[in-house]
Chain A
């Protein structure tokens, strides 16, 4: 299985998966069913997490496919640009979905402005995703190729403000952007790591005087750290994709991050960690999740730092 194949598998998630999550969310809002709201928010978050390897494998796929006969490079470029905008909005939606889940855990309901924002952002993301998917289909399906080319020439929603090529020149042609992104990337990692240590060391038995629910309140700080790292990371990737697409440590880093998404939902929403009181001992499952979270984060930092040395594509 190569990365192009992986892309074909994964791209069903931000399309079909997202459609399911969005419909469920809208129905849950109308029915005022909080349980279903939480489930659908979880789906939206999971889709946003999987959208990361979906996008990255897409860029890898374009490198694999670009010299093959019968492939329209203009369509691939149009598809990538549309996908980039869709991806950006999708990640924002996923981030807010996570925040709503965090609020649901803490006060039995999410803030109305957050839910409203998620409605608008998810509908917008879906529209952009549909457009990107339509263009993507045109790349290799001759039965709809004419439709695809017409769409590439005049996309329904104009995403020209965020083209992969313009991001690429922003990152590469200015001398301050890359070092600034690197510095921010380290600051983000510091903040995320601090929150990770706080929560997970508590599960493992340190600082027992504090209830987990109180520490849970620091999760948004960790997510802000992760958030800036996602943005700066995407700037690195879009700037010089060739350094990353076939780079093994980078791929392992992404695998670790996707797995961490599951751990994050565990600590954000589930009852086992939430009910660990001041002085209380965490259940076995929570300890295992805590240990795995720390190990996965060390993996992210290690693979990230080893990118230039183990990858062999520099």
Chain B
């Protein structure tokens, strides 16, 4: 049970970091596209 929790938290953290990075890159690209 503890194992499942630890694994779940690790996965969630990684997914959140990926989402944040993807969001920042995409927002920047959108902003530049509007400026063009």
Asked whether the complex places CB atoms of A and B closer than 8 A, the reply is yes
Instruction: Report which A residues bind B (CB closer than 8 A).
Output: 99, 103, 106-107, 111, 175-177, 179-180, 183-184, 187, 191, 217, 220-221, 224-225, 228
Contact in complex: A176, B3 (CB < 8 Å): yes
Instruction: Report which B residues bind A (CB closer than 8 A).
Output: 3, 6-7, 10-11, 14-15, 18, 21-22, 25-26, 28-29, 32-33, 35-36
Closest CB of chain A to B33's CB: distance in Å?
A: 7
Contact in complex: A106, B3 (CB < 8 Å): no
Query: Nearest residue in B to A109 (C-beta to C-beta)?
Result: B32
Known: A175-B6, A220-B26. 6 other contacts (CB 8 A): A99-B25, A107-B29, A184-B14, A217-B29, A220-B21, A220-B25
Query: Nearest residue in A to B28 (C-beta to C-beta)?
Result: A111
Contact in complex: A103, B14 (CB < 8 Å): no
- Using Cβ atoms and an 8 Å threshold, which residues of chain A touch B33? 106-107
CB-based A-B contact count at 8 angstroms: 48
Contact in complex: A184, B11 (CB < 8 Å): yes
Contact in complex: A187, B21 (CB < 8 Å): no
Question: Max chain A CB contacts within 10 Å: which of B6, B15, B21, B25?
Answer: B25
Contact in complex: B22, A176 (CB < 8 Å): no
Query: Nearest residue in B to A174 (C-beta to C-beta)?
Result: B6
A-side interface mostly: helix
B-side interface mostly: helix
Contact in complex: A224, B21 (CB < 8 Å): yes
**CA A228 to CA B15, docked complex, whole Å:** 10
A-B contact pairs, 22 of them (CB 8 A): A103-B32, A106-B32, A175-B3, A176-B7, A177-B10, A179-B7, A180-B6, A180-B7, A183-B7, A183-B11, A184-B10, A187-B11, A187-B14, A187-B15, A191-B18, A220-B25, A221-B22, A224-B18, A224-B21, A224-B22, A225-B18, A228-B14
Tell me whether A106 and B18 are in contact in the complex, defined as CB-CB below 8 angstroms, given that A175-B3, A179-B7, A180-B11 are known contacts.
no
**CA A106 to CA B26, docked complex, whole Å:** 12
By Cβ-Cβ distance, the 9 closest A-B pairs, closest first, are: A176-B6, A180-B10, A107-B32, A180-B7, A220-B25, A224-B18, A179-B7, A183-B11, A184-B14
Closest CB of chain A to B28's CB: distance in Å?
A: 7
- Using Cβ atoms and an 8 Å threshold, which residues of chain B touch A111? 28
Closest CB of chain A to B16's CB: distance in Å?
A: 12
- Using Cβ atoms and an 8 Å threshold, which residues of chain B touch A224? 18, 21-22
Q: Which of A103, A179, A184 contacts B29 (CB 8 A)?
A: A103
**CA A267 to CA B11, docked complex, whole Å:** 30
**CA A304 to CA B21, docked complex, whole Å:** 26
**CA A183 to CA B8, docked complex, whole Å:** 9
- Using Cβ atoms and an 8 Å threshold, which residues of chain B touch A99? 25
Closest CB of chain B to A108's CB: distance in Å?
A: 9
Contact in complex: B10, A176 (CB < 8 Å): yes
- Using Cβ atoms and an 8 Å threshold, which residues of chain A touch B10? 176-177, 180, 184
Contact in complex: B3, A217 (CB < 8 Å): no
- Using Cβ atoms and an 8 Å threshold, which residues of chain A touch B25? 99, 220
**CA A220 to CA B33, docked complex, whole Å:** 16
